[in-house]
């Protein structure tokens, strides 16, 4: 069916809102996990449009279009993208289904006409599709603008509800390497009188000590908030163990899974989460859309005043196209996950093996066993990270140097795991993704080795280090 025919089929659908008309008896099929695709019977009388069967909007727009060399060339040109933790390119299959849906233009919260019903159908089928991918129920998904808003809603919404119901001094537990969306939210809540414990992760590994977590729990502990995968060093926290503790202690468990979906298997029920945050642009979807899983019977206050959309939890008009893009991206990014991770591990091993055989004084940041294979964070002694990035300008990476940070501060994550400040400024984060090839990694490895050696050859610090001088003992004098 071509695009025009799809929209003709949509315009012949008159879908009655379930809350307004009890005749909508096939609603379960439409929003269910199976996404049963039914045929639309076109009526001869165009003045009376009656629907005997309905289509699922998500499946109407499904596409098997895959990433190809043309898209790769147009997207990356001569460069190589190795910054997949910052964002991911929107996959062509996602762009395809979104672009096909733009004639579904109505407000999905308009429930008095068929245009609004069509938009609602697209939103709800996307919601159900995404829920099925992460092991949730459709009604447990709240669409947001991204993981930052989801984190804010999870923490502020729960604390607001508990305070409104009489708890005067709620307590939050998190770690000192969380994303700023969590840390800054906690700082704001602290200013409002909320007690927050920032657990220090283990040095070198970046992993949370479960025993420390247990000891930090208090009688007034309301919620524990942990990132599943750290965006800088790629370590995977022991989420299931934390979930068991929270269940035993009757404490809400919030997970920031922005870096998890599409890289590891995500099952919100298995990890016993109360709330989980997601962001579509982290798994090959569009920017501006995310989701918060909220377990049934979890009490969360809205933090945005307005029309009380999303079952009163999140006000604001939802974009059907963005919801569709999020669901399609989740489907794409979790397809062939096991084989994709094997491919990532092969490239990671190739990089690290060749670096270790060719360059001395390099340090891998973060635990090597409990981490995603996509991420490599390395410090190169006596090589400033910014200079290395400039030398390798065709490769898109991120640096932990102060000059690359909008806050003009070295990486707080690397500081938290015990990396010396001098080494922090020599650190690079390389994160591979679905469109990284082994050829890319071979070229990158060769260029990286050549660049590090070049910069060290012109570095007086490297000369001093080779002579056995401990750079920490050198007294540097300012010249005025």
Q: Concatenate the DSSP letters of all residues of 110-140 into one string.
A: --SSHHHHHHHHHHHHHHHHHHHHHT--GGG
The region that residue 317 occupies, defined by phi over 0 for left and psi between -120 and 50 for alpha, beta otherwise, is beta
Q: Which residues contact 16 (CB under 8 A, 6 or more apart)?
A: 23, 24, 117
Q: What pLDDT shows up at residue 20?
A: 34
Query: Residue 7: what pLDDT?
Result: 34
* pLDDT of 399: 86
Q: What is the DSSP letter of 239?
A: H
Return the closest-CA partner of residue 40 out of 10, 79, 78, 64: 10
Terminal CA-CA length for the chain: 75
Rounded CA separation 168/280 (Å): 36
Using CA atoms, how far apart are residues 256 and 290, in angstroms rounded to an integer? 12
pLDDT of residue 56: 55
Of 290, 289, 294, the C-alpha closest to 313 is 294
Active site residue 90: no
Contacts of residue 277, Cβ cutoff 8 Å, sequence gap at least 6: 144, 147, 150, 151, 154, 254, 255, 256, 257, 258, 290, 291, 292
Q: What is the pTM of this model?
A: 0.84
Query: Fold identical between 114-335 and 337-466?
Result: no
Q: Looking at the domain 114-335, which fold is it?
A: 3.40.640
Within the chain, which residues score under 70 in pLDDT?
Answer: 1-75, 401-408, 467-480
Q: How many CB atoms lie within 10 A of CB 16?
A: 16
Here the tokens at position 320 are 């059907």
Residue boundaries of the structural domains of the chain: 3-90, 114-335, 337-466
CA 430 to CA 263: how far, in whole Å? Answer: 15
- CB neighbours of residue 109 within 10 Å: 16
Q: Is 346 helix (H, G, I), strand (E, B) or coil?
A: helix
**pLDDT for the residue numbered 57:** 58
- Only one residue has tokens 């060399």, namely 69
Q: Crossing angle, helix 180-191 and helix 147-164, to 10 degrees?
A: 30
- Running DSSP on this structure, what letter comes out for residue 413? H
The pLDDT of residue 401 is: 56
Q: What CATH number should be reported for the domain whose range is 337-466?
A: 3.90.1150.10
Region for residue 320 given its phi and psi (left: phi exceeds 0; alpha: psi -120 to 50; beta: otherwise):
alpha
CA nearest to 266, candidates 361, 181, 333: 333
What does the alpha-carbon distance between residue 258 and residue 269 come to, in Å, rounded to a whole number? 17
Do 93 and 290 touch, CB atoms closer than 8 A? Answer: no
């Amino acid at each position: 069916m071509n695009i025009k025919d799809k929209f003709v089929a949509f315009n012949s659908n008159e879908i009655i809102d379930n809350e307004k008309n009890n005749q909508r008896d096939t609603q379960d099929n439409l929003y269910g996990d199976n996404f049963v695709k039914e045929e639309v019977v076109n009526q001869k009388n165009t003045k009376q449009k009656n629907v005997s069967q309905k289509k699922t909007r998500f499946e109407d727009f499904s596409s098997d279009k895959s990433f190809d060399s043309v898209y790769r060339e147009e997207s990356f040109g001569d460069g190589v993208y190795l910054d997949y933790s910052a964002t991911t390119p929107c996959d062509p299959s996602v762009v395809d289904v979104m672009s096909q849906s733009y004639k579904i233009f109505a407000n999905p919260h308009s429930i008095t006409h068929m245009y609004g019903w069509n938009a609602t159908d697209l939103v709800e089928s996307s919601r159900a599709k995404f829920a099925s991918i992460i092991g949730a129920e459709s009604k447990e998904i709240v669409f947001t603008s991204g993981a930052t808003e989801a984190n804010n809603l999870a923490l502020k919404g729960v604390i607001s509800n508990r305070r409104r119901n009489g708890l005067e001094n709620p307590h939050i537990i998190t770690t000192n390497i969380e994303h700023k969306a969590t840390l800054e939210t906690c700082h704001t809540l602290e200013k409002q009188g909320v007690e927050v414990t920032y657990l220090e992760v283990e040095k070198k590994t970046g992993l949370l000590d479960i025993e420390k977590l247990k000891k930090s729990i208090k009688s007034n502990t309301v919620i524990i908030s942990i990132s599943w995968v750290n965006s800088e060093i790629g370590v995977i926290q022991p989420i299931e163990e934390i979930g068991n503790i929270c269940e035993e202690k009757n404490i809400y468990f919030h997970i920031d899974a922005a870096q998890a979906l599409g890289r590891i298997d995500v099952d919100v029920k298995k990890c016993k989460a109360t709330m989980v945050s997601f962001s579509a642009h982290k798994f090959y979807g569009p920017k501006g859309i995310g989701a918060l899983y909220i377990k049934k019977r979890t009490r969360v206050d809205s933090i945005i005043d307005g029309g009380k959309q999303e079952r009163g939890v999140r006000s604001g008009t939802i974009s059907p196209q963005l919801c569709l893009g999020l669901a399609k991206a989740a489907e794409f990014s979790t397809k062939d996950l096991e084989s994709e991770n094997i491919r990532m591990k092969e490239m990671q091993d190739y990089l690290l093996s060749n670096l270790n055989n060719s360059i001395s004084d390099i340090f891998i940041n973060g635990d090597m066993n409990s981490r995603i294979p996509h991420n490599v964070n390395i410090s190169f002694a006596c090589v400033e990270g910014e200079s290395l990035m400039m030398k390798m300008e065709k490769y898109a990476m991120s640096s932990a140097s102060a000059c690359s940070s909008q806050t003009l501060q070295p990486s707080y994550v690397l500081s938290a795991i015990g990396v010396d400040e001098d080494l922090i400024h020599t650190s690079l984060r390389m994160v591979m993704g679905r469109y990284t090839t082994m050829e890319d990694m071979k070229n990158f490895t060769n260029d990286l080795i050549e660049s590090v050696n070049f910069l060290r050859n012109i570095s007086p610090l490297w000369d001093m280090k080779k002579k056995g001088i401990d750079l920490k003992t050198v007294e540097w004098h300012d010249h005025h």
